[in-house]
Amino acid sequence: MDTIIIALISLIGLSLGSFLNVCIYRIPHRKSVLYPPSSCPKCGTKIRFYDNMPILSYIVLMGKCRTCKAKISMQYPLVEFITAALLVIAYLRFGLTWDFAARSILILVMILTFFIDLKHRIIPDVLTLPGIILGFLFSFLVDSPSVLNSALGAIAGGAIFYLAAVLGEILFKKESMGGGDIKLAVLLGAFLGWTNVILVFFLSALFGALIGGAALFFSKQVKDTRTIPFGPFLALGAIIAVFLGDSIISAYMRTFF
């Protein structure tokens, strides 16, 4: 039975990953994610259903449009694989529960955030504002966080990241964190609770320092602009918190208290 459920979740995850690719491309341009059907961005040819099968079509077409042979970004199969893999891991961790449903939605939002902010340097309100509401509503159904913890998490997330934005602006004399990052922190607090959103803050800061520091040496764009989108680091921290947050916090408390 477990094998069948895992197989189904994998297929659903691949399909959702394909839909996330549509969202990643269209949301920043404020286009409908439902209509029109997908087409090649280079030649405009409508993509047939047999050329739109997650991962498999990319392999069969060798990463090129069937019509114009334009190169298809590796992002497409990557997003599909990551989505399916994370949803399967979430099922193995939480089972078929409301916690699984809540974490799955959060994972989907984090994947969208990672790729949209990485490319366009925005975190759209269409992701964060409904997500904040969903995160709080799920607290009435899940084992953790509680309703109070969810509310405190949303407040704590917003307050911590707003303070970080203010301090960053004072120190660096320019905007160091956008409003989208702050709204995303509120969303994460609502889904994960106040202790885990603090963990996300430290994890994202660590990733930002390590990866951002390396990018300053190896990326010409980063060298020129001296800016790095923070959303991807928040997304990475949130994914870790989803699966390991409670364990990390418990280990920290046992070690230092």
pLDDT in tens, 195-210: 999 999 999 999 988 8
Rounded-to-integer distance, Cα 122 and Cα 28, Å: 8
The encoded tokens of residue 14 equal: 């691949």
pLDDT for position 157? 95
pLDDT in tens, 99-140: 999 999 999 999 999 999 999 999 999 999 999 999 999 999
pLDDT in tens, 67-97: 899 999 999 999 999 999 999 999 999 999 9
Is the per-residue pLDDT at 224 higher than 70? no
Rounded-to-integer distance, Cα 220 and Cα 5, Å: 45
Determine if the pTM surpasses 0.85: yes
pLDDT for position 158? 94
Rounded-to-integer distance, Cα 70 and Cα 37, Å: 19
Name the band, by pLDDT with cuts 50, 70 and 90, for residue 223.
low
Burial grade of 49 (CB within 10 A; 0-12, 13-18, 19 or more): exposed
Burial grade of 241 (CB within 10 A; 0-12, 13-18, 19 or more): buried
Is the per-residue pLDDT at 176 higher than 90? no
Rounded-to-integer distance, Cα 74 and Cα 216, Å: 24
Name the band, by pLDDT with cuts 50, 70 and 90, for residue 237.
very high
Is the per-residue pLDDT at 217 higher than 80? no
Q: Are 21 and 75 in contact (CB under 8 A)?
A: yes
Position with higher pLDDT, 22 vs 221: 22
Is the per-residue pLDDT at 172 higher than 80? no
Name the band, by pLDDT with cuts 50, 70 and 90, for residue 15.
very high
The residue-averaged pLDDT of 19-31 equals: 94
Task: Please give the share of the chain, as a percent, with pLDDT higher than 90.
Answer: 73
Name the band, by pLDDT with cuts 50, 70 and 90, for residue 226.
low
pLDDT for position 220? 63
pLDDT for position 165? 87
Name the residue among 11, 20, 27 with its Cα closest to residue 107.
Answer: 20
For 179, residues 6+ apart whose C-beta sits below 8 A from its C-beta are none
pLDDT in tens, 30-57: 999 988 888 888 888 898 888 889 999 9
